[in-house]
Structure 1
Amino acid sequence: MPGDAAAQERLQAAVRRMCDRMHARGPDAIGFCDDAGAGLSLGHRRLSILDLESRADQPMVSADGRYVIVYNGEIYNFRELRQSAEREGIRFRTQSDTEVLLELFAHQGEAMLPRLRGMFALAIWDRQVRHVFLARDPYGIKPLYVGRTKDGWLFASQVKALMTSGMVSNAPDPIGQAGFWMLGSVPEPHTWYRDIQALPAGHSAYLTESGMQPPRRFRDIGDAWRQGPIPVPEESMVREHVRAALQDSVQSHLVSDVPVGVFLSGGVDSGSLAALMKQAGSIDLQGITIAFREFSGRHEDEVPMAVQLAARYGVTHHIRTVTRQEFNDDLPQLLNAMDQPSVDGINTWYASKAVAELGLKVVVSGVGGDELFQGYSSFQRLPRLVSRWGRLSRLPGAKMLSRKAMALAVRRSGNQRWQHAPDWLRSISGAWWLGRGLFSPADLPALMGEDQAAAATQDFDPNSWIGRMSGILPADPRLALALIESTTYLRNQLLRDSDWASMDHSVELRTPLVDAMLLDALTPVLAGFAGGAGKAMLAQAPVPMLPDAIVDRSKTGFGVPMASWLAPAATLLGETHASAVAADWPRRWAMTVAGAMP
């Protein structure tokens, strides 16, 4: 919006502070575009991955001079889009995906969005109409936040960058903070702060002189699950379909002008991706495994299986051991990097640190495989639990007995959420919340104050909260869980943590299993298969397929020995009851990360 010279000077200074805060996201180049007449300032930090020359730096101006883009992410099909545009007479000056985005928008406007395969948070300034177009990828892999100031609006890839501007209030968002305490991550579009909101995944919006227009959805990943299963041919044909779709996604995610590595755990997701990357032509593929002495010789130890996978598929293997002392030393930097409170992300932060130590800028992660292929045990366990609970609750005296049992569970665990089990187990949403939950609504007044807690959770119902995050759920409970996991835990925690944790080390993290085109290709054919079949097909996609020892191994997750680490770290953090920290580390860790927020 137009403003006086002093206001423009304040804005430009704020944008430069924000870029300084995000230095690690783009240490290779920095650029600005200031339009005093419009009251606009754009800043960008670049991590050079495609077209390493300065001609591809941002902000980038369109060939006709009308549009200016700042953008974070990668468009994996940009070369195909470029070739199509060239056939229509569009000419390009760089070899970057940024310019393809910019020129597509100049010629097609927001109609280009469904054609994009990739992860993106973008802003395009229209000098003629004087508005900013914002858009974010369908899964929400890349974050985009908009902050309200007394003079107008700011937007950035990080909440903490907006707070660094000095122009956005730090007043709390009750729903955002309550969501964190209950689930361990802040639910979008809310953030930790009242005046900052995330642009929802799969949405676009315009910032105009009259304000921010309501976001408009251009893609809802939930539609893939809501359509349900389609008639499929015999299983062998489905396996070939799955293999082809995975090969296509992996090949797309390898587009780069710098080497691409892979996180290599001992599991099906990362093992399959590493094998498919090698088969797609990755030369001297670097695989990174994180090791912990506390896990040595135990089931949680990923190293033995990762070594076996690396040898089988010809991956150059690097094992990086992380110690408790290193965690203690790194804790201030880690908390500073964490953009919003989360009870996860430490594993990805250390894996990304190891990637950067090898001189790599890009790494592939297997995140999202459990949501796409229904790999969590909850996909089988929770539907059975809800069904059985429905039958048991109709028995005489069941209500009184269940209340007594849950009261005992609360006393033994100290976790108030169990008091809600008789009601929450009536629905798949409630059962999911009970399993994923951290704190109970009853705990919130002590954590965030009576007034804030009341504002956030009056008439609390997990079904309504899930509905706001996930939309209409499919009738099939397994498909409903896949949608819930993808639009809550995956989006609000795993993907967000992947972004801040990797970017703090100037590493771009790519997710071939979190891909809207892959989702469209696989969900209809996998929806009709029983639990576990999808993960088996993922393991069978490489040639040769993954070893039986990997496939048959029970899931461990990408874990960190936080319980043993946090007990001695409690002294560093000012805690006085180290044993309590170790006994209930997720909730104590939640208090730690929340306390570190500005």
Structure 2
Amino acid sequence: MCGIAAVFAYDPAASRVSEVELEAITDAMAARGPDGQGVWRHPDGRIGMGHRRLAIIDLSDAGRQPMASADGRLHLVFNGEIYNHQDLRAELIDAGVVLRSRSDTEVLLHLYARHGAAMLPRLRGMFAFALWDEARQGMLVARDGHGIKPLYLCDRGGTVRLASQVKAILAGGAVPRRIHPAGAAGFLLWGAVPEPFTIVRDIVPVPPGSSLWIDRSGVGPPRRFWSLETVLAEAEAERPPGDAAGPGALREALEDTVRHHLVADVPVAVFLSAGLDSCTLASYAAAAGRAAAAGAVVDTVTVSFDRLEGTPADEAPLAAEAARALGTRHHHLRVSANDFAGDLEGLLRAMDQPSTDGVNVYYVSRAAARAGIKVALSGLGGDELFGTYPSFRDVPRLAARLGPLAGLRPAGIGFRRLAAPLLRRFTSPKYAGLLEYGTSVSDAYLLRRALYMPWELPDILGPEAARDGWAELEARTALRRTVAGLRDPWVQVAALEATWYMRNQLLRDADWASMAHGLELRVPLVDTALLGRLAPVLVRPARPSKRAMAESAPLPLPRPILDRPKSGFFVPLHDWLRGMRPGEATDRRQPDRGLRGWARRVLAEWSDG
């Protein structure tokens, strides 16, 4: 895992690439790559690349970036890991290709030289890269299917700027820090800025599962090579599978994804909570470690909070019990309100875009880094894969009950306008929007997940910014587009959760919060090959449960963990913020508390620069 940057002055009228700007963008990502840095600038000054290295595969200088092909035709900066690079390497060697390193970066170079962008569907991993092709005088940019690795682009004044972080592009000094109304509105709706927007007006994310070609004509249209919605739609269209639904097939699929995500030249740890996801991954990782080397011990890391000590929400005791049962080397960090107050400034500085989440990952990543760990597995994605969020039950139920009343939506808008000011004094303002946003799965999902409702935005952003932001966001249209090709309401919610929540918030937060401590976080349950393997059974009513996942663990999990009711990982933000002195956590003018108050505090930090 690393931080990458590229600046390409594709318009002949644009100024040449500034070495100062390129180095400033690269240096802004120093935390992402503490093991080295490199900058390459073309002799003609039209293209430059920068890289901050976190050495995970091939720790030698042979893995340094920017990496050039032997003939100098190709130059590459790459962030992420290609988990099947060993198989791809073997194919290249069989074809007579001579490789100079053991890195997956060099494998990418040779694959492109032989296959061009057609190589992309064959890559299994998390990745974002920019590759300069001297012969074609253009640059290929690509991002993995799930969007695990971030990559941002600014096309302004005939020059394209790329980086792993929004703040890194801003650090170059050539792009103004202008808040995007759609980005701000989307953040208040969801608690994270939804793609295809960012919080900055002139910066956009490279679409996941897509590539872009950039040459003297400018930035070409995105070309999709993988789509979660397509995988689910094709699975729904297939005939029901046979043995693929059995426990043996599930065990093989999980064993395969964990094995691929353990590929590294440094030890790989596991983030461990009391949840079934992380405990199951820890079991598979511990079993794989023992199979690979007698006496091998996997590290596990847990974070807990002093406000929760002794309560059912404290996951530390059960996590420690799981660690003992699995024979791991366990590390535990307990965080206090004073820790949070002292760390708040640094946490917000590390947060690349506004988010209401990521605090837990920030602290558990710190604990791992302090233990000398460079790579860890996370159970992120299990709820989306096995459908264990309450939304999988609540959203289809609401849409089914109110769907027959869809024709009353205009009346629902009128009711909401009258009722919302009154209801917000006593209960959630969402009740006022039931007839307006409860009659379809996509609308009901917005109602279920929204932090603020659309009609509340003017009170925070102002009437003009709220109107413009909501209009450009086109949230209802975008949500409908996500589920357009899917029939089953459960599958529709799966697509919505995996894109609007997991991709826009959980994966993005996992990236900045772990990279703030120079830690690579891997997510075996968010894997294109795993989804392709399980999708045909996940879209059926007899789909495997998360309990079935946990019972497949090669090393048995303690009974209290198997029998523990589903609960989210709780961070006591409300208590922490309430305990701060007035003005420290939220502006005195902001009446909202809890997560809504935290959202306003985070947005104010960005607005104030």
Q: TM-score, normalised by structure 2?
A: 0.92
2:595 matched residue in structure 1: 586
1:286 matched residue in structure 2: 299
2:484 matched residue in structure 1: 472
Q: CA deviation at 1:442?
A: 1.5
Specify whether residues 381 and 212 from structure 1 end up closer, same or farther in structure 2 by C-alpha distance, changes over 3 A only: same
2:463 matched residue in structure 1: 450
2:320 matched residue in structure 1: 307
Specify whether residues 217 and 304 from structure 1 end up closer, same or farther in structure 2 by C-alpha distance, changes over 3 A only: same
**What are the residue-to-residue correspondences of 1:132-281 with 2, within 5 Å?**
132-227=139-234, 228=236, 230-233=239-242, 238-281=246-289
C-alpha distance in 1 between matches for 2:142 and 2:576: 40
Q: CA deviation at 1:557?
A: 1.7
Counterpart among 438, 441, 458 of residue 428 in structure 1: 441
C-alpha distance in 1 between matches for 2:473 and 2:288: 49
Contact in 1 for aligned 2:182/2:473 (Cα 8 Å): no
What are the Cα deviations for residues 254-291 of structure 1, in whole angstroms up to 9, with x where unaligned?
A: 00001111100001000000000011126211111111
Specify whether residues 459 and 595 from structure 1 end up closer, same or farther in structure 2 by C-alpha distance, changes over 3 A only: closer
C-alpha distance in 1 between matches for 2:246 and 2:570: 32
Specify whether residues 365 and 409 from structure 1 end up closer, same or farther in structure 2 by C-alpha distance, changes over 3 A only: same
Q: CA deviation at 1:493?
A: 0.1
What are the Cα deviations for residues 57-102 of structure 1, in whole angstroms up to 9, with x where unaligned?
A: 0000012220000000000000000001111111100000000011
Range moving further from structure 2, 305-314 or 538-547: 538-547
Range moving further from structure 2, 364-373 or 399-408: 399-408
1:501 matched residue in structure 2: 513
Contact in 2 for aligned 1:205/1:212 (Cα 8 Å): yes
C-alpha distance in 1 between matches for 2:395 and 2:480: 18
Tell whether 2:380 aligns with 1:367: yes
C-alpha distance in 1 between matches for 2:413 and 2:40: 66
Q: CA deviation at 1:36?
A: 4.1
Range moving further from structure 2, 213-222 or 487-496: 213-222
2:97 matched residue in structure 1: 90
**Consecutive unaligned residues in structure 1, runs of 5 or more:** none
Specify whether residues 127 and 307 from structure 1 end up closer, same or farther in structure 2 by C-alpha distance, changes over 3 A only: same
Tell whether 2:575 aligns with 1:564: yes
Contact in 1 for aligned 2:268/2:374 (Cα 8 Å): yes
Specify whether residues 250 and 576 from structure 1 end up closer, same or farther in structure 2 by C-alpha distance, changes over 3 A only: closer
Q: CA deviation at 1:19?
A: 1.2
Q: Secondary structure at the match of 2:426?
A: helix
Q: Please tell me the residue identity of whatever aligns with 2:276.
A: V
Q: Secondary structure at the match of 2:582?
A: helix
Q: CA deviation at 1:464?
A: 0.8
Number of residues of Structure 1 aligned to a counterpart in Structure 2: 589
1:42 matched residue in structure 2: 49
**Consecutive unaligned residues in structure 2, runs of 5 or more:** 1-8, 291-295
Specify whether residues 205 and 327 from structure 1 end up closer, same or farther in structure 2 by C-alpha distance, changes over 3 A only: same
Tell whether 2:528 aligns with 1:520: no
C-alpha distance in 2 between matches for 1:42 and 1:471: 38
C-alpha distance in 1 between matches for 2:587 and 2:81: 46
Contact in 1 for aligned 2:14/2:158 (Cα 8 Å): no
C-alpha distance in 2 between matches for 1:287 and 1:239: 26
Specify whether residues 28 and 124 from structure 1 end up closer, same or farther in structure 2 by C-alpha distance, changes over 3 A only: same
Range moving further from structure 2, 306-315 or 509-518: 306-315
Specify whether residues 391 and 551 from structure 1 end up closer, same or farther in structure 2 by C-alpha distance, changes over 3 A only: farther
Q: CA deviation at 1:362?
A: 0.3
C-alpha distance in 1 between matches for 2:67 and 2:599: 40
Q: Please tell me the residue identity of whatever aligns with 1:571.
A: P
Q: Please tell me the residue identity of whatever aligns with 1:291.
A: S
C-alpha distance in 1 between matches for 2:414 and 2:465: 34
Counterpart among 402, 426, 441 of residue 412 in structure 1: 426
What are the Cα deviations for residues 548-594 of structure 1, in whole angstroms up to 9, with x where unaligned?
A: 4223322222221101101123535264659956xx31111111111
Q: CA deviation at 1:460?
A: 8.0
Tell whether 2:384 aligns with 1:377: no
What are the Cα deviations for residues 110-169 of structure 1, in whole angstroms up to 9, with x where unaligned?
A: 111011000000000111221111000000000000012324110000000001111112
Tell whether 2:336 aligns with 1:327: no
C-alpha distance in 1 between matches for 2:598 and 2:276: 29
C-alpha distance in 1 between matches for 2:420 and 2:13: 63
What are the Cα deviations for residues 501-557 of structure 1, in whole angstroms up to 9, with x where unaligned?
A: 0000000000000000000001111221357x4212211221244334223322222
Range moving further from structure 2, 565-574 or 372-381: 565-574
Q: Please tell me the residue identity of whatever aligns with 1:515.
A: D
Counterpart among 586, 589, 595 of residue 604 in structure 2: 595
Q: Please tell me the residue identity of whatever aligns with 2:128.
A: A
2:565 matched residue in structure 1: 554
2:135 matched residue in structure 1: 128
Specify whether residues 5 and 426 from structure 1 end up closer, same or farther in structure 2 by C-alpha distance, changes over 3 A only: closer
Tell whether 2:86 aligns with 1:79: yes
1:537 matched residue in structure 2: 548
Tell whether 2:402 aligns with 1:389: yes
C-alpha distance in 2 between matches for 1:315 and 1:295: 24
Q: Please tell me the residue identity of whatever aligns with 2:40.
A: C
2:5 matched residue in structure 1: none
Q: Secondary structure at the match of 1:37?
A: coil
Q: Secondary structure at the match of 1:280?
A: helix
Specify whether residues 401 and 32 from structure 1 end up closer, same or farther in structure 2 by C-alpha distance, changes over 3 A only: closer
Q: Please tell me the residue identity of whatever aligns with 2:47.
A: L
Q: CA deviation at 1:52?
A: 0.5
Contact in 1 for aligned 2:447/2:453 (Cα 8 Å): no
Range moving further from structure 2, 316-325 or 445-454: 445-454
C-alpha distance in 2 between matches for 1:463 and 1:530: 30
Tell whether 2:31 aligns with 1:19: no
C-alpha distance in 2 between matches for 1:259 and 1:265: 20
Q: Secondary structure at the match of 1:41?
A: strand
Specify whether residues 479 and 360 from structure 1 end up closer, same or farther in structure 2 by C-alpha distance, changes over 3 A only: same
Q: Please tell me the residue identity of whatever aligns with 1:24.
A: A
Q: Please tell me the residue identity of whatever aligns with 1:488.
A: W
2:503 matched residue in structure 1: 491
C-alpha distance in 2 between matches for 1:128 and 1:180: 42
C-alpha distance in 2 between matches for 1:313 and 1:529: 33
Contact in 1 for aligned 2:413/2:436 (Cα 8 Å): no
C-alpha distance in 2 between matches for 1:459 and 1:89: 52
Q: Secondary structure at the match of 1:571?
A: coil
Contact in 1 for aligned 2:196/2:205 (Cα 8 Å): yes
Tell whether 2:112 aligns with 1:112: no
C-alpha distance in 2 between matches for 1:580 and 1:196: 31
Q: TM-score, normalised by structure 1?
A: 0.93
C-alpha distance in 1 between matches for 2:297 and 2:581: 42
C-alpha distance in 2 between matches for 1:453 and 1:576: 20
Q: Please tell me the residue identity of whatever aligns with 1:319.
A: H
C-alpha distance in 2 between matches for 1:507 and 1:400: 47
Query: Aligned residues: percent identity?
Result: 42
